[in-house]
Homo-oligomer: A and B are copies of this chain.
């Protein structure tokens, strides 16, 4: 039936594209660092190893759920190393792995661009909003 063809084709194209994205390294990286807390934790650890509670205090806005979740993901990705010292109470230290450190270096480039160009972006936003308001 011709009625379903267009929809089916679209659906299949989407599936294919999703499959492509799933194996695309750039996309995987973006997925990994896009998260709000990932970059904050990574840059916090760039200053040196830290304990869970230190990170929790330093990254003041994070809930403990998100901090734990973020650290687990980073550990799974091999970007952060988790060291448990069996004492009472338990002590857990987190540190960047060499891989994690190399990623922080790349993120630093983003930071550089941001510090130079974000003012331009903001100005553009203001102008855009002003036009929209004047037009509306």
Contacts and interface: CB of A to CB of B under 8 A. Distances in A.
Given A76-B128, A106-B110, 20 more contacts: A14-B60, A17-B59, A17-B60, A17-B61, A25-B111, A25-B114, A26-B114, A28-B121, A29-B114, A30-B36, A30-B110, A32-B121, A34-B36, A76-B125, A76-B129, A77-B121, A78-B120, A78-B121, A78-B125, A106-B109
Contacts of A14: 60-61
A84 interface: no
Contacts of A36: 27, 30-31, 34
Question: Interface range on chain A: under 10, 10 to 19, 20 to 34, or 35 or more?
Answer: 35 or more
A92 interface: no
A97 B111 CA distance: 20
Interface string A13-50: 11011100100011111111111100100000000000
